[in-house]
Structures are given as structure tokens and as C-alpha cells.
Amino acid sequence: MAELLAIYNEGAGGADDAARTAAMETLRGSADVIEAPAGQKDLDEMLDAHPGRDVVVLGGDGSLHVVVSALHRRGELGTRTVGLVPLGTGNDFARGLGIPLDPEVAARIVLAGRPQPLDLLVDDEGEVVVNAVHLGIGAEASRRATPLKPALGRLAYGVGGLLAGVWSPGWRLSVTVDGRSLADGRPVLMVGVGNGVTIGGGTPLTPGARPDDGKVDVVVALTTGPMDRLLYALRLRRGTHPDLRDVVTDRGREMTVTGEPVPVNADGELSGPTARHRWTVMPAVWRMFT
């Protein structure tokens, strides 16, 4: 019988309670499961207390990021397989991997026990990215969407993106992928770095990305005019933005961004502004039940 450690945020409340209960009942039907209501501060204590157990995350992209980051820091990514029951607002990594949003179905996938090797992005400070990073308009859109989430839910991401697309002035940045230049100090509206496909609850930032191919997909929007920015925001929602004349894309193992300080959103966490960042792909360094 599988031995699992189920991690969730007990403060989430609301509709998550029923969904989490349903998922836990499914897991307990075929596995030895220990529940661990753990925030970032006490996650290490839970992992210390239950060594060797595979970890099931009952939550969204933010919760998954916290768990994978902890396992990376502890050197346990190679010894514990991660399962995901998507209970977040966006659930973008689950969408990209085809993990069902129904909690009971997702729990059954965990129980089936088929681990898939996946890539991870790591920056120069050792911080990880599971799904995606977006700089510039992407981070600005997330900032504008945050206060709208209670009323609009997943739709808040689209509204925030439209607002940011119209008003953001852009940043002068240099962007390289494996040493190849995608931008050389020109005004940049957005840089997207995708290990997964979507951000913001289904927006296809990097439509061709795969989290198991050993490369990261990069998209750079060199959009400047107000109408062009609005068009970019609209096309981004449909995933057709790479076809625009002022959008460049590439794929590789390492990418860097330097220039004017720009806000950063990594797996839903806002930071910056920062003037330099570099991410490197670690191929097949962790496993998830899919």
C-alpha cells in the first residue's frame, strides 16, 4: 500500500473544504495517508516527521511551488514523488499536464502511481520555478488582478491583463536564450519564461512548452503603441500572440534578462523590480504522478 503525506493549507476554507474531503476519502481508500495541514513555515517539520513518504499537494500552483521548493532545498526531489490535487484558483500546472480539475479524479491519478519525470527552472539564488515566470506586463497584470480575485475568481486574471496591457509603458531590457539575443535594450512590454504552458488560470503564455523536454520556452513582446499593447493582451488570452510581428520566441537551456528594474512573477509570487535575472533548466530532476 502506498504511503502518502497529504499537504494542504487549512486556512483556505470555503469550497475547498468539500473538495479536499472528497479527495482525501478517495486517497484513503487505497493508500496509507497522513494529513499535514502545513504552511511554508512548518512544512519542513512535517517532512522531517514522515521521511520517505511521497507527497500529495492539495492546492494550487502556489502550494505546489512551496512543496517542490522545499524538496529541492532538502535534496529530496529524487526520493519523493509529488502528486497534485488541484484546488487553487488558476491550477495552471495541472492544466498543462492534463491533470483533471475534479479532485476525486485527480486523487485516483495519484493512486495509479505512474510517475513522470519533469524539468525545473532554477535561478542564480537557488530559487525554483515549477510552471512559469513573467516579467513586465505579466507581473503587472497579476498585481492588478489580486484585489479582483474575491469577486471575479479566475476572470480576474483576464481583467488584470487587459488593464496592464493598455497602461504599462514597457522596460528597456536585454534578453538572451543560450547566448542568442532576443532583445538588445529595446523597450519590452513582457518577457514570458514557460516550463508549463499557461498562466493566470488558462492563458497560454508559451503554447508549445513542455515541462519534460529539457528546455524552457521564452516569449518576448516588443510591443510599444497603445493599440498594439491592447492587441497583444487580447491575443495572449487566445495563445496566438507568438504570431504577432513584434513578438519573438525561442527555446533553450538558459535565459537571462538584464536592464531596467522590472517586476517579476514566478509561479504566482510577485517580486522585484529587479535588474538582472537568469534561469537554468534542470532536466528531469523531479517526478509527478500524471
DSSP per-residue string spanning 11-59: T--TTHHHHHHHHHHHHHTTEEEEEEE--TTTHHHHHHHSTT-EEEEEE
CB 9 within 8 A of CB 37: yes
Mapped onto helix, strand or coil, the DSSP state of residue 75 is: coil
CB 229 within 8 A of CB 189: yes
pTM for this structure? 0.87
pLDDT given for residue 287 in this prediction: 97
Walking along the chain (290 residues) 10 residues at a time, the average pLDDT comes out as 87 66 93 83 89 94 93 96 92 93 95 95 95 86 60 54 61 96 93 94 93 97 81 88 95 97 89 90 97
127 assigned to active site: no
pLDDT given for residue 194 in this prediction: 96
Residue 176 Cα distances to 17, 38, 162, 211, 273, angstroms: 44, 38, 27, 20, 19
CB 209 within 8 A of CB 216: yes
pLDDT given for residue 59 in this prediction: 92
pLDDT given for residue 147 in this prediction: 56
Enumerate the H helices of the chain as residue ranges. Answer: 16-28, 43-49, 61-74, 92-97, 103-112, 137-145, 149-152, 155-167, 226-238
Separation between Cα atoms, residue 176 and residue 257, nearest integer Å: 7
166-192 CB burial, b ≥16 within 10 A, e <16: eebebbebbbbbeeeebbeebbbbbbb
pLDDT given for residue 162 in this prediction: 54
Catalytic residue among 76, 104, 254, 269: 269
